[in-house]
Structure 1
């Protein structure tokens, strides 16, 4: 059997749309199968005849059997069917060329977790009524492409036909011209960055790129999580976690916060890790009018029309030091936290709006009072700015020290 695209949705309410997607993929020369994730046992013969894989078949992949899916509570049924779908897709992974899902709030919540569990690089498209809202929870650390449906799913119309056709053609292009992931012969490193720490990361990549495949992650909420997923999957041999700004957003209501599980994977995997305070001088909000009232008298920098940056206070920096310190105490692998006392970002230096040495000292106090330093777990302070050559040189030095094979850095550069 040829590999197929899985078209996933609830055929009891969206059969027309699922059939249209299948016809569009057929016209594009792509084999597909409709995977029905309805959470009620089908009684409509037309539904049973038109789908390729029935909800009963999918529900059978739940660890507790189909009865766990076909229950009276909608929330539990959706969650259970999502688990069953995840297991089905993994069991069929060698036959699947891509997955395209459709749904409203319930359907998107059902399909997207299963998509998130699939390998990076396998085409995934979710056509959803929820794609115009905050989609971070639906995408997670995966490479799902979200497409806003514009109209709701309630039978076909001239708008939905066009959008679903576009989605099918996007999938066909992805399948027909897919470039498989080809690993280099260089070991991979993860680096976290933000615009205001880019000079630092660029310097490190220049030094590392000859011997390492440098994967950078934008610290915009899911960046660190995406990196840690690759750590969990064994894709990275080390991490230069220079930019931890997502933690500031997590603790102080910013819009780019990470999950509170940040750094847990580093502890679990004991991977060599160097961290720093990149962009902890700021919290991210949207447009100026979206800033909570309690913060209106703070110091701000307008990054663009959609992004406003707020300076963190000394008190907040102390809390950040404590929070990060407690996480580091769980890490028993080789870790170093390098603290740039000259400033945490391009905005945190003399004559820049976020320059506030008292905040830097407060962070240092919180971190040093919390971290139980050992031979494996150390804090290194430097008077230099995070974007300075001196800071990057220090990162390079400690990177070499904590890697499993001494001298690997010199061989790389």
Structure 2
């Protein structure tokens, strides 16, 4: 069996010794190959570097190589991200990459993780040894499966502590790349007997609904179901996988991230939420699960404009780390407008999109006996959404049940099945 190949990225003008040590540790086992790409700013003459920084900078263009050393640092990093992303992506498309690894400081980490995020799909092993790994790393990982390993000491010269961490990193990427390489045969066999891959969005307050849908789709139809926790990164991860064509249909039950985006909560998935599935033209059922709430951290972190009693906002302590705020009628109107605009502007197959509104309650805590029950807010949400989508070709259905009732779950699941069959012509 051919050996897996691991791409090693290094800023060789500043981290050559550390990068070559990591390379040596990966190769020591004799079970994998390494291709070393120099993503540094200044040229380095070393015969262990497989692709120089000049070759990378010129990749994908017929222009002369950019003199990276003459660029401002931010421009050098952008140039190298773009060219290296293209290079690594092309290697992956030809089956030549089974893992990627690097070690570096803040600038190197920013550069390399951008390449990892954009060049390789979810599932390909990605490991970054970084001085930044113990801080806020959300902007580095985003919604991907990058693994960060803290270097503990700065990556500034070989020493016994850093050496051991780099040995560990070598073992980690070697093991992951080997398993990925070995799994390709299984993946190919599974592709000959494909299952319909369905994404569902879930929150704690919509869990009974999602559990029932998942059981229904897997046991009755044999679908493969991926559940995404609607915490901001979850919604973005789902949309990324749709764009990577790793998802065939979407049951977007829980669109609460939109409330956080519009009102200022902590779990937003950004302004592009709802675009991927619509643009892909795949079957999609959408609902308004947990749009009755905006998410904040502990009670004392709720912004003063919401927490002061004179603003008369209903706050609910979900747990000591999470405080929920009931959305107002005006905010529900904004949420409905957001959904309506996104679907109208991006749905290339309106006939494969359907909205189902559970009028009995849109979360566990918004049914008539629960603290977030607010019929005026729900009415604003439902009426505005219907109005926004009128004449769009997108069907909007009201269902009398609450979102967590088994009847609603069955309706949502069977509605998606109908759209999948419609798309396939079955």
CA RMSD of aligned residues (A): 2.5
**Equivalent residue for 1:264, pick from 259, 275, 278:** 275
Query: What is aligned with 1:307?
Result: 322
Further displaced range: 386-395 or 344-353: 344-353
Aligned CA distance change for structure 1 residues 132 and 202 (closer, same or farther; 3 Å): same
> What secondary structure does 1:201 align onto?
helix
Structure 2 unaligned spans of 5+: none
Query: What is aligned with 2:110?
Result: 109
Task: Give yes or no for the alignment of 1:355 onto 2:373.
Answer: yes
Task: Give yes or no for the alignment of 1:223 onto 2:234.
Answer: yes
Offset, 1:296: 1.9
Structure 1 residue runs of 4+, over 6 Å off? 406-409
Offset, 1:133: 3.5
Aligned CA distance change for structure 1 residues 49 and 305 (closer, same or farther; 3 Å): farther
Offset, 1:368: 2.5
Query: What is aligned with 1:370?
Result: 388
Contact 1:400 1:406 in 2 (8 A): no
Query: What is aligned with 1:67?
Result: 66
Measure the CA separation in 1 of the matches of 2:159 and 2:57. Answer: 31
Aligned CA distance change for structure 1 residues 390 and 108 (closer, same or farther; 3 Å): same
Offset, 1:404: 4.0
Q: How many residues align?
A: 404
Further displaced range: 302-311 or 236-245: 302-311
Aligned CA distance change for structure 1 residues 28 and 345 (closer, same or farther; 3 Å): farther
**Equivalent residue for 1:379, pick from 383, 391, 396:** 396
**Equivalent residue for 2:195, pick from 186, 189, 211:** 186
Structure 1 unaligned spans of 5+: none
Query: What is aligned with 1:342?
Result: 360
Higher helix share: 2
Offset, 1:49: 4.0
> What secondary structure does 1:100 align onto?
strand
Query: What is aligned with 1:85?
Result: 84
**Equivalent residue for 1:327, pick from 333, 342, 346:** 342
Normalised by the length of structure 1, the TM-score is 0.89
Deviations 1:298-346 (A, max 9, x none): 4333344443333222221111011111112122422111111222212
**Equivalent residue for 1:52, pick from 50, 68, 80:** 50
Normalised by the length of structure 2, the TM-score is 0.86
Measure the CA separation in 2 of the matches of 1:365 and 1:159. Answer: 62
Contact 1:249 1:255 in 2 (8 A): yes
Deviations 1:252-292 (A, max 9, x none): 22222112122222332222211001111222223334332
Offset, 1:397: 4.0
Measure the CA separation in 2 of the matches of 1:156 and 1:309. Answer: 49
Aligned CA distance change for structure 1 residues 19 and 346 (closer, same or farther; 3 Å): same
> What secondary structure does 1:92 align onto?
helix
Measure the CA separation in 2 of the matches of 1:141 and 1:364. Answer: 30
> What secondary structure does 1:342 align onto?
coil
